[in-house]
A and B are shown apart, each in its own frame.
Chain A
């Protein structure tokens, strides 16, 4: 669309599986007449002769699109309701109303009453008419009040709202690449990591089952962000969200760092904040992969398992230059610290050892890696392997979880780097 705005006519090629999503996204940005030429799906796994055959079939349509364009399609059938709706208070009927109008993520929500939204707004101390955005994928702008409505629906307490606002601010940073996270086939969602005194103040869980269910603050802060992306950003599965599988983190994906049981400085301090600051850090992530270090007694043995998890084929940190995230259990962190490994030594070890020989890849994969991971080949000095991060400090380490010999490898994706934001409380001060 940028090219069309520059006066250059275009034709956009889409396989049949994604043409509908392309039309919805183009219409959402005001260009319902984007000339799209459809080709059969899939193309990725098609043989070269099949690709050339499809090119031959499409050539005439491409010429026509450049010469004639495409007919404008009708406006999207959006469900437009008033900002304030008077409705029967029957709880069953209310839930049906929410589901019918597509306001939820598939789970029941809390009714956003005038009083509950006012309480949410009061906790943030922000002008309800202040605007935030644009929020992808449909690039819509929201007022603080609109965000508060979604936080209420997610089940947040008012005190959580400043964290939700900081989280939204973090994911809207260009380095997060939120549009890619939302719209790709890849199984990604924005992971939130909360640090600082606010973890205890709000009762966020940093310990056992940290990625799991059972804690209101973790569950609803992460869910509020996702509801905002859905109801304001317009991110809808099958329309804009084309994830092949998705993952549970698309409901909610929020953890806190277990700073009390970590032998090292916490993530936000490592990223330049004070220990007494409260922050939220975002990064695009797939579902966590468990690293179970059965039988390992030393830091070196634990690291061998981490390297093993990183050197399997197919995870996102082979293709994306983002750098992996490790969420270490306190037990692993303390064993590593006991054996002389600090965060930097762990990163160094993973950077040097977690490399996959290019001989394990097909020829076209190697060509693709040289393109997508070109920075690795420019700076790493190891042309026969691919590493899981271009630079040592692209690897991130957080301590969270409870007792046990498990850590989590979170393959990251799309984001150029994590983004950390201060959480600002009602008085306007950073906590």
Chain B
């Protein structure tokens, strides 16, 4: 059968690779941020993880922000709080 030319519906765009942040050198005394994305039990999970990181690794203060809904972007005010932290734990995809 004869050949035809068809057009590709897909987009293939090379994505510029993002280089992750330099990791934290030491957790001792570090201020750790937590993002509670408002999924059920994220608050309890964060509470326990925060306590364990303090007991076992000596982290400093916790800063926790809570998103209105899991799929929402971080609010600017929350982002401003989190960028003051040494590292951030995001909770969670479920």
Contacts and interface: CB of A to CB of B under 8 A. Distances in A.
A296 to B, nearest CB: 36
Chain A, interface SS category: mixed
A54 B74 CA distance: 25
A178 to B, nearest CB: 10
A84 B5 contact: yes
B18 to A, nearest CB: 4
A140 B13 contact: yes
Interface in B35-94: 38-42, 44-45, 48-49, 52-53, 56-57, 66, 68-74, 79, 82-83, 85-94
A231 B52 contact: no
A19 B49 contact: no
A59 B52 contact: yes
Interface in B1-60: 1-13, 15-18, 20-27, 32-33, 38-42, 44-45, 48-49, 52-53, 56-57
Interface string A42-80: 111110100110111011101100111100000000111
A379 B22 CA distance: 44
Most chain B CB within a 10 A radius of its CB, from A30, A42, A68, A183: A30
B40 to A, nearest CB: 4
Interface in A77-95: 78-90, 94
Contacts of A7: 21-22, 83
A261 to B, nearest CB: 37
B20 A31 contact: yes
Contacts of A41: 94
B73 to A, nearest CB: 8
A427 interface: no
B12 A112 contact: no
Contact of B6 (A11, A111, A150): A111
B7 A83 contact: yes
Interface residues of A, number: 95
A13 to B, nearest CB: 4
Given A3-B88, A372-B68, A18 B38 contact: no
B1 to A, nearest CB: 5
B15 A3 contact: no
Given A3-B82, A42-B94, A183-B71, A10 B11 contact: no
Contacts of A35: 20
B37 to A, nearest CB: 10
B48 A56 contact: yes
A90 B5 CA distance: 12
A17 B92 CA distance: 12
Given A81-B8, A231-B9, A232-B10, A88 B89 contact: no
Contact of B44 (A30, A51, A78, A103): A51
Contact of A11 (B42, B71, B73, B87): B87
Contacts of B93: 12-15, 18-19, 21-22
A80 B14 CA distance: 11
A39 B92 contact: yes
Nearest to A55: B48
Given A9-B20, A60-B56, A83-B8, 18 more contacts: A2-B79, A4-B20, A7-B21, A10-B21, A12-B90, A30-B17, A43-B41, A43-B45, A56-B52, A66-B89, A79-B10, A82-B8, A85-B6, A87-B5, A113-B7, A146-B11, A232-B10, A371-B66
